[in-house]
Amino acid sequence: MMKDEKGRGVRISSTAIAAFIRHPSSFILDCFHRVPFARWPRWCHGAIAGVVAAVVALVLMATGWLDPWEARTYDWRANVLATPGRAGDRIVVVLLDQNSLDWGQTENGLTWPWPREIYGAIIDFCRQAGARAVGLDVLFTEPSTYGQADDLAMAEAAGRFGKVVAAVFAGSQTGSTLAWPVQVPDPVFSLTDPAPGTPFAAKAQRAAFPIAPLAQNAAVLGNVQLKPDSDGIFRRLSPLTLFDGRPVPALGLGVFLAAHPGADLAIGNRQIRIGHLNLPLDHQGRCLLRFRGPSGTHTTISAAAVVQARILQLSGLPADSGINPSLFKDKYVLLGFSAPGLLDLRSVPVAPIFAGVEVHATLLDNLLSQDFIRPFPLWSTVAITVVLALAAGIAISLYTRTFHGLAFAVAAALSPLALGLWAYASGWWLAVVAPETGALGSVLLALGINYAVEGRQKRFIKAAFQQYLSPAVIEQIIAHPERLKLGGERRMLSIFFSDLQGFTTISEKLDPEALTGLLNEYLTAMTDIIHRQGGTIDKYEGDAIIAFWNAPLPVADHANRAVAAAMGCQAALARMRPELNRRLGCDLFMRIGIHSGPAVVGNMGSTTRFDYTMLGDSVNLASRLEGANKQFGTFTMISAQTLALLDPKPPARELARLAVKGRAKPVTVYEPMDGPTYRSRQAMLDVFASALALFYQGHIAEAAAVFGTIAADDPPAAAYLARCQALGDRVAPDWQGIWVADSK
């Protein structure tokens, strides 16, 4: 036994079980449609979809499932928005590339590794050219194979310059040194609290230090250890590493410190402060780099070219016959490897092949330009995910048309990406995959709820009303199902009544099947015409059709459409008449009455069964006009109120000042015609108009004489002739020529 929403027991019948077995999906949807949730406002459905999608997205983000996708979106943003920094022209990268190795082998017979005095020559050239500092992204942890003098030549060059950063590798697994070597001087810069145990600096248990001569002559020791993200891409590095309680800056930061001796480093509030410069950190003490472009974006010079320039200097030749020393004036210089065989190539967001020294140059560039990428606060990412998911779900629920759904789905997909690009351009890394997952998940859930809750209702509405309402009206009701309730409104309508002449007699001659087939054929043809003109079928009463325009959808030219529908129905019946005559043995004619006026229109009936219909004097008058056709022998009659609304005015003749039963005030009525019919009968219609004028004036005998000339060919004239003969000379003093209808 199950329980309902009030906790009462509900026994599941065998019929329900059988229904589930036969059509499980339909049964589930039907049950879903019946629960109270299905009757909640649509925005509630969207809000629930948004909350569920947001929670799922945030859980996936928290568990790391979205990290690989987030990394790809970060790389995309880095590529799209990669531009040179403000300080990019203050950095020079000297690369020991494949051309340098080939030059050394070919021109000088140098094998790898090169003698270290060559690095000393590069340092001396930079010193004489006026460089600010030089950073060596080369580990010299073992004595030179060329002897001690070779090591001393390089170390002395570093000492002469006084602003050289030597490389140390400080990490967790590589290196045999576990404590700060005695022969290596302590860092020359100070580190302000917090204490070395701060979580905003990486910690290393092992290190590989340079040889003592170089370490003692270097201004700063710089950590060249780089650690990629889990997917092997280098996006960030630790600018400061603590080894044995002493701070070791990354190579790029070390070059800045060497160029500005005496600088104080202060760590706090997830950033490193160096004077007026700030270096933001994430929760692991790393900085997120803003890459400027592919390899070679910074000024890049081959190591062989620098060595050749130094040789020219030592030979007394002008140095600018090689490279111009001014390229190094006041520049921060970093020396590293890019030759494939030297194994210092990395993959970064902007390039699959990137020299490791260029990663350190990027850190220095970001520091000088002060445009590091900062991680967006976690709470902001959560808030954006929830807001976008809620907005997408509610929007999809409120706007159910396909175009709107597609538009909101596209907006939901693009909004997080647009926010991510904007944030990156502003210096922030905003996670976009979680908001994207929440927004798109909300769209899918909202669509699913819409289908489950409203799809069944929409299918029911279409099936129930497609025979009575035009497709536009059905779509309006589907979009606003709350209109399917009791109540009405006062609207200006154009009202259409039609009936088949003598159909009762015809129906008595037909068997039920033939009668039903005839009615269906006739009503289908007429209904299609009315629907094409935007009309609403009120009801069918046997062969009679009742329709109206300008409700529930507003129709500006409702009178034109109603008259056009009447002319179209008459033309369609004329085309059908020969075939119907063959089957019935007689001709079928239709009488139509149209009036435009105010009426009450809406859903009327009981709380369990109601119709969308109309009430009022205007409705009654339209019905009377349809019946009045019998007295004049006409088939289409419209009121003066309808004619006044027509634009352009169709050909029509005035028929009478008609007073119908139940209405004290008479109404002028007209017979509309198509253009060819009107022109072919122009002469006769002019005679009718002159006779009608005499009738209005009370000249009954004269009117009868004129009507008599055309009565044989014109049913309305014949009707007037009979009326004149019945009146004789009995005309009241207040005669106004009113035709009083004596039957419906």
The 10s digit of each residue's pLDDT in 692-717 is 999 999 999 999 999 999 999 999 99
The residues with which 265 forms a beta bridge, in sequence order, are 191, 274
Distance (Å, rounded) from C-alpha 478 to C-alpha 180?
78
Domain tally for the chain? 4
Q: Which residue has the higher pLDDT, 43 or 353?
A: 353
- The DSSP secondary structure of 511-542, one letter per residue, reads -HHHHHHHHHHHHHHHHHHHHHTT-EEEEEET
Q: Is the predicted pLDDT of residue 4 greater than 60, yes or no?
A: no
Q: What is the band of 40 on the pLDDT scale with cuts at 50, 70, 90? A: low
Q: What is the pLDDT of residues 560-602, one digit of tens each?
A: 999 999 999 999 999 999 999 888 888 999 999 999 999 999 8
What is the reported pLDDT for 6?
A: 42
194 conformational bin, left if phi > 0, alpha if psi -120 to 50, beta if neither:
beta
Number of helices (H), then strands (E), belonging to the chain: the values are 25, 31
The CA-based angle 335-338-340, given to 5 degrees, is 150
* 138 and 68 together in one domain: no
Q: CB within 8 A of 53, min separation 6: which ones?
A: 389, 392, 393, 437, 438, 439, 440, 441, 442, 444, 445
% of the chain residues with pLDDT over 90? 45
Whether 252 and 358 have beta carbons less than 8 Å apart is answered as no
Say if residue 16's pLDDT is above 50: no
Lowest mean pLDDT among 20-34, 139-153, 515-529, 535-549: 20-34
**What's the confidence (pLDDT) of residue 322?**
65
Band of pLDDT at residue 612, cut at 50, 70 and 90: confident
Contact by Cβ (8 Å): 438, 385 = yes
Same domain (yes/no): 413, 340: no
Element (H, E) at 668: strand 667-672
Instruction: Tell me if 666 is assigned to some domain.
Output: no
Residues 671-689, mean pLDDT to the nearest whole number: 95
- pLDDT bin (cut points 50, 70, 90) of residue 608 is low
The C-alpha atoms of residue 126 and residue 299 are separated, in whole angstroms, by 14
Q: How far is CA 148 from CA 51, 62, 350, 657, 705, in A?
A: 70, 55, 41, 128, 143
Out of 424, 456, 488, pick the residue that ends a domain: 456
Q: How many residues does the chain have?
A: 744
How many other CB atoms are there within 10 angstroms of residue 357's CB atom? 29
Q: Kindly state the helix (H) or strand (E) to which residue 407 belongs, with its residue range.
A: helix 402-425
Residue 737 has pLDDT above 80, yes or no: yes
Q: 141 or 462: which carries more pLDDT confidence?
A: 141
Q: How much of the chain is helix, strand and coil, in % rounded to 5?
A: 50, 20, 30
Asked if the model's pLDDT at residue 34 lies above 70, the reply is no
Q: Is the pLDDT confidence value at 88 over 90?
A: no
User: From its phi and psi, is residue 735 left (phi > 0), alpha (psi between -120 and 50) or beta?
Assistant: beta
Q: Specify the pLDDT at position 717.
A: 96
Residue 35 confidence (pLDDT) above 60: no
For the stretch 179-201, pLDDT in tens is: 888 888 888 776 665 545 555 67
Q: How are beta strands 240-243 and 202-204 bridged, if at all?
A: parallel
Residue identified by tokens 């007295």 is: 631
Same domain, 589 and 644: yes
Q: Which two tokens stand for residue 601?
A: 């229109």
Query: What integer is the mean pLDDT of 152-168?
Result: 94
Cα separation, 5 vs 28, in Å, equals 17
Decide if pLDDT at 173 tops 90: no
Beta strands (DSSP E) in 674-744 are 738-740
Within 8 A by CB and 6+ apart from 187, the residues are 220, 221, 246, 247, 248
Q: What is the pLDDT of residue 12?
A: 40
Give me the mean pLDDT over the 98-126 stretch.
Answer: 90
CATH number of the CATH domain containing 494: 3.30.70.1230
Alpha-carbon Rg for the chain, nearest whole angstrom, is: 47
d(CA 545, CA 469): 13
For residue 210, give the 3-state DSSP assignment: coil
Contact 155, 217 (CB under 8 A): yes
Say whether both 414 and 359 belong to one domain.
no
464 pLDDT tier (thresholds 50, 70, 90): low
Nearest CA-CA partner of 120 in 212, 256, 208, 217 = 217
Mean pLDDT for the stretch of residues 233-248: 89
Contacts of 661 (CB under 8 A, 6+ apart): 624, 741, 744
Checking if the pLDDT of 14 tops 70, the result is: no
Which residues, 6+ apart, have CB-to-CB distance to 471 below 8 Å?
531
Span 8-27, mean pLDDT? Answer: 44
Taking every pair of Cα atoms in the chain, the longest distance, rounded to a whole number of angstroms, is: 148
pLDDT of residue 255: 95
Q: Are residues 366 and 380 in the same domain?
A: no
CA distances (Å), 177 to each of 151, 203, 222, in order? 21, 14, 16
Identify whether residues 443 and 526 lie together within a single domain: no
Q: How far is CA 198 from CA 179, 248, 285, 627, 730, in A?
A: 19, 14, 9, 98, 119
Q: Is 411 left (phi over 0), alpha (psi -120 to 50) or beta?
A: alpha
Residue 399 within a domain: yes
pTM: 0.59
Instruction: Give the tens place of pLDDT for each residue, 421-439.
Output: 898 888 888 888 889 888 8
d(CA 276, CA 685): 100
Question: Which residue range is the domain that position 573 belongs to?
Answer: 480-649
Region 31-58 average pLDDT: 70
Structure tokens at 67: 């990290």
Residues 6+ apart with CB under 8 A from 477: 461, 465, 469, 483, 484, 552
DSSP-based three-state secondary structure for 312: helix
Checking if the pLDDT of 25 tops 60, the result is no
Highest mean pLDDT among 223-232, 309-318, 398-407, 562-571: 562-571
Asked if the model's pLDDT at residue 29 lies above 50, the reply is no
The answer to whether residue 473 sits within a structural domain is no
Checking if the pLDDT of 36 tops 70, the result is no
Alpha carbons 357 and 208: distance in angstroms, whole number: 18
Q: Tell whether 537 is covered by a domain.
A: yes
Residues 188, 192, 198, 201, CA torsion sign: negative
Average pLDDT (456-478) is: 62
Nearest to 630 by CA among 444, 476, 503: 503
631, 649, 667 — which closes off a domain?
649
Are the beta carbons of 335 and 137 closer than 8 angstroms? yes
CA distance 483 to 469: 14
The alpha carbon dihedral of 365, 336, 256, 248 has a sign of positive
194 closest CA partner among 276, 128, 267, 103: 267
Question: Three-class SS of residue 431?
Answer: coil
Q: Output the 3-class SS for 141-174.
A: CCCCCCCHHHHHHHHHHHHHHCCEEEEEEEECCC
pLDDT at 484: 53
Same domain, 269 and 129: yes
Do 390 and 366 share a structural domain?
no
In a shared domain, residues 524 and 543: yes
In a 10 Å sphere around its CB, with 0-12 CB exposed, 13-18 middle and 19+ buried, how is residue 726 labelled?
Answer: exposed
Residue 39 lies in a domain: no
Whether residue 315 is found in the same domain as residue 387: no
pLDDT at 460: 59
pLDDT given for residue 671 in this prediction: 97
pLDDT at 389: 84
Judged against a pLDDT cut of 80, whether residue 32 lies above it is answered with no
Residue 661 lies in a domain: no
Listed residue (511, 562, 509) closest to 534, CA to CA: 562
In a domain, 714, yes or no: no
Q: Of 318, 345, 370, which residue is a domain's last?
A: 370
Q: Are residues 529 and 417 in the same domain?
A: no
Higher pLDDT, 633 or 195: 633
Single-letter residue type at 415: S
3-class DSSP assignment, residue 95: strand
Give me the sign of the Cα torsion angle 665, 671, 675, 679: negative
Per-residue pLDDT of 284-321, as tens digits, reads 888 999 999 998 899 999 999 999 888 888 887 765 55
Q: Same structural domain for residues 295 and 356?
A: yes
695 in a domain, yes or no?
Answer: no
CA distances from 537 to 359, 606, 611, 613 (A): 75, 20, 11, 9
Task: Please list, residue by residue across 446-466, b when 16 or more beta carbons sit within 10 angstroms of its beta carbon and e when fewer do.
Answer: bbebbebbbbbebeebeeebe
